[in-house]
């Protein structure tokens, strides 16, 4: 029977691995070989990886790919993408090439404001809390002078503090809603540090505010929000409808079917979830490659997709006066300094590949990646279907699962250029080769 382990984080890496193998695995030697196989031979680089998280025992590799030919605001870029899904990089590259010949992508940052809250319980007279806040607001702001000195020098920092009454939603609930500009930093640590200082100052000042009497406000917690609807970016493509013509498909037919598919995703949640997941295939891949927090981005983007009270498409498409327009507008809180962006060698490489963008420029590049991914998906859905291209890209995964040799892989590539790919079909093909 397995027993709990104590003091695990204080054990050496080797001790942690030995405990893991002894506790959970019968064939310890083969498992240990797998763990060590993914170490890097560069000792200092391996130590850097080990220091990223607690209890690290090895590295988990994902493919780092590139998608070329992205024309964004008149500049040509190659996007770095980290993902395990077979068709993502191919789809992005195809969309980039398609729009390269039709004027490319345009993108603009609408706003870059981030936010966080000090959450407060107060069951007394709301008017007294408002009076206290108005009397104390300048002290709250001044308490951040040291913390935001450097950020203010660069043009960022706290923008404003508001007292919000949310007691209609939750009894006794109020918040200090704080807005920030963090420039090229994602800013999570900066914002959280500021919020905790505001919470401390608020608590001290409220204890000395005699008008409260015995019913004083209490700080519950202070934390940034990953819902950043004021940190918005927009990306778009457009062309004449006739320029969308493809083999066997009129431009007008393609445009109408495309717009209809977008409108379905706007009106049907079950479709919208998969639709937006495809968008995030592209966004997450670039966010991860550049060392940014893809979980925070995911949470904020999906909340934004439900901002109207229902969950719908992040992308939009219209046909007006013979012109097809396709665009995305979404919140992206990203950074190009701090965190993994400067620590991880491949994150640094990814940002160099993107020509060392500012946070605003990275927002545009990431939004374009999402728009391109969605265009490629909808284009497939309304023409040949999603599986044809996806399964072609998945072919190599199936062959690797079957332990195919290089010669078998080459014969399979040739055969499945003209035949439908499925796991069973590939399995039969390999079996026939071997027999």
Domain 114-224 has CATH 3.90.70.10: no
**310-357 per-position pLDDT tens digit:** 999 999 999 999 999 999 999 999 999 988 888 999 999 999 999 999
- Confidence band (pLDDT; 50, 70, 90) for 391? low
Please confirm, yes or no, whether 316 is among the known catalytic residues: no
How many residues does this entry show for the chain? 435
- Confidence band (pLDDT; 50, 70, 90) for 389? low
CATH 3.90.770.10 in the chain, residue ranges: 64-106+234-384
Q: Taking 90 as the threshold, does the pLDDT of residue 6 lie above it?
A: yes
**Spatial separation of the C-alpha atoms in residues 181 and 187, rounded to whole Å:** 8
Looking at domain 64-106+234-384, its CATH architecture is Alpha-Beta Complex (3.90)
Q: Select which of 266, 293, 344, 394 is catalytic.
A: 293
Q: Taking 70 as the threshold, does the pLDDT of residue 153 lie above it?
A: yes
What are φ and ψ of residue 116, in 5° steps?
A: -160, 170
Q: Select which of 49, 114, 390, 394 is catalytic.
A: 390
Question: Residue 387's pLDDT is what?
Answer: 60
Residues contacting 207, CB < 8 A, separation 6+ = 216
CATH 3.30.70.420 in the chain, residue ranges: 114-224
Q: Select which of 139, 149, 277, 307 is catalytic.
A: 277
Please confirm, yes or no, whether 277 is among the known catalytic residues: yes
Question: Residue 344's pLDDT is what?
Answer: 93
Question: Residue 291's pLDDT is what?
Answer: 96
Please confirm, yes or no, whether 266 is among the known catalytic residues: no
Question: Residue 86's pLDDT is what?
Answer: 84
* More reliable by pLDDT, 435 or 314: 314
Q: Taking 70 as the threshold, does the pLDDT of residue 115 lie above it?
A: yes
Question: Residue 196's pLDDT is what?
Answer: 98
What mean pLDDT, rounded, does the chain reach? 93
Task: Report the 10 Å Cβ neighbour count for 346.
Answer: 15
Instruction: Work out the average pLDDT over 370-381.
Output: 97
Q: Taking 80 as the threshold, does the pLDDT of residue 185 lie above it?
A: yes
Angular region, 70: left φ>0, alpha ψ -120 to 50, beta rest = beta
- Confidence band (pLDDT; 50, 70, 90) for 410? confident
Please confirm, yes or no, whether 275 is among the known catalytic residues: no
* More reliable by pLDDT, 245 or 404: 245
Are the C-beta atoms of residues 13 and 54 closer than 8 Å to each other?
A: no
Instruction: Work out the average pLDDT over 176-204.
Output: 97
Instruction: Work out the average pLDDT over 212-241.
Output: 97
- Confidence band (pLDDT; 50, 70, 90) for 155? very high
Q: Select which of 85, 236, 252, 329 is catalytic.
A: 85
**Spatial separation of the C-alpha atoms in residues 152 and 181, rounded to whole Å:** 9
- Confidence band (pLDDT; 50, 70, 90) for 393? low
Q: Taking 80 as the threshold, does the pLDDT of residue 417 lie above it?
A: no
- Confidence band (pLDDT; 50, 70, 90) for 425? confident
**229-281 per-position pLDDT tens digit:** 999 999 999 999 999 998 889 999 999 999 999 999 999 999 999 999 999 99
Question: Residue 184's pLDDT is what?
Answer: 96
Question: Residue 356's pLDDT is what?
Answer: 97
Nearest of 359, 358, 282, 353 to residue 78 by alpha carbon: 353
**Spatial separation of the C-alpha atoms in residues 175 and 266, rounded to whole Å:** 33
Mind spelling out the 3-state secondary structure of the chain? CCCCCCCHHHCCHHHHHHHHHHHHCCCHHHHHHHHHHCCCCCHHHHHHHHHHCCCCCCCCCCCEEEEEEEEECCEEEEEEEECCCCCHHHHHHHHHHHHHCCCCEEEEECCCCEEEEEEEECCCCHHHHHHHHHHHHHHHHHCCCCCCHHHHHCCCEEEEEEEEECCCCCCCEEEEEEEEECCCECCHHHHHHHHHHHHHHHHHHHHCCHHHCCCCCEEEEEEECCCCCCCEEEEEEEEEHHHHCECCECHHHHHHHHHHHHHHHHHCHHHHHHHHHHHHHHHHHHHHHCCCCHHHHHHHHHHHHCCCCCCCCCEEEEEECCEEEEEEEEECCCCCECCHHHHCHHHHHHHHHCCCCCHHHHHHHHHHHHHHHHHHHHHHHCCCCHHHHHHHHHHHHHHHHCCCCHHHHHHHHHHHCCCCCCHHHHHHHHHHHHC
- Confidence band (pLDDT; 50, 70, 90) for 68? very high
Question: Residue 146's pLDDT is what?
Answer: 97
Q: Could you give the dihedral angle defined by the CA atoms of residues 369, 374, 375 and 380, in that order, rounded to the nearest 10 degrees?
A: 130
**Spatial separation of the C-alpha atoms in residues 69 and 94, rounded to whole Å:** 9
Q: Taking 70 as the threshold, does the pLDDT of residue 392 lie above it?
A: no
Percent of the chain exceeding pLDDT 70 equals 97
Question: Residue 203's pLDDT is what?
Answer: 97
Question: Residue 403's pLDDT is what?
Answer: 82
């Amino acid at each position: 029977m397995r027993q709990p382990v104590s003091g695990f984080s204080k054990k050496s890496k080797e001790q942690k691995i030995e405990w893991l193998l002894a506790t959970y695995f019968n064939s310890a030697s083969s498992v240990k070989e797998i763990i060590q196989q993914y170490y890097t031979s560069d000792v200092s680089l391996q130590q850097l990886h080990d220091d990223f998280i607690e209890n690290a025992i090895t590295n988990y590799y994902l493919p780092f790919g590139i998608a070329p030919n992205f024309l964004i605001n008149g500049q040509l870029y190659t996007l770095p993408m980290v993902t395990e899904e077979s068709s993502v990089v191919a789809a992005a590259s195809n969309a980039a090439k398609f729009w390269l010949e039709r004027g490319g992508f345009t993108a603009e940052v609408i706003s870059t404001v981030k936010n966080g809250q000090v959450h407060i319980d107060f069951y007394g007279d709301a008017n007294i809390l408002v009076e206290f806040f108005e009397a104390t607001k300048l002290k709250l702001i001044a308490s951040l002078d040291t913390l935001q000195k450097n950020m203010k020098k660069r043009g960022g920092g706290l923008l404003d503090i508001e007292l919000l009454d949310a007691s209609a939603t939750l009894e006794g609930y109020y918040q200090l809603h704080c807005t920030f500009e963090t420039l090229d930093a994602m800013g999570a640590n900066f914002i959280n540090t500021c919020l905790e200082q505001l919470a401390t100052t608020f608590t001290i000042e409220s204890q000395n505010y005699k008008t409260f009497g015995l019913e004083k406000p209490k700080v519950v917690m202070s934390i940034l929000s990953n819902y950043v609807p004021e940190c918005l970016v927009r990306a778009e493509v457009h062309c004449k409808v006739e320029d969308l013509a493809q083999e066997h498909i009129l431009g007008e037919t393609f445009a109408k079917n495309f717009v209809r598919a977008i409108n379905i995703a706007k009106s049907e949640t079950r479709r919208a979830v998969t639709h937006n997941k495809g968008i995030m295939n592209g966004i997450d891949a670039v966010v991860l490659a550049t060392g940014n927090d893809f979980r925070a981005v995911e949470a904020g983007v999906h909340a934004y997709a439900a901002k109207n009270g229902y969950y719908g498409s992040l992308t939009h498409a219209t046909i007006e006066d013979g012109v097809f327009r396709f665009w995305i507008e979404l919140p992206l809180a990203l950074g190009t300094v701090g965190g993994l962006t400067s620590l991880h060698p491949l994150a640094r490489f990814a940002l160099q590949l993107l020509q060392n963008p500012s946070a605003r420029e990275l927002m545009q590049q990431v939004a374009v990646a999402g728009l391109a991914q969605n265009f490629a998906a909808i284009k497939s859905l309304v023409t040949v279907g999603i599986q044809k291209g996806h399964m072609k890209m998945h072919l190599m995964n199936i062959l690797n699962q079957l332990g195919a040799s290089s010669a078998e892989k080459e014969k399979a590539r040739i055969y499945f250029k003209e035949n439908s790919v499925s796991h069973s079909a590939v399995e039969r093909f390999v079996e026939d080769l071997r027999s």
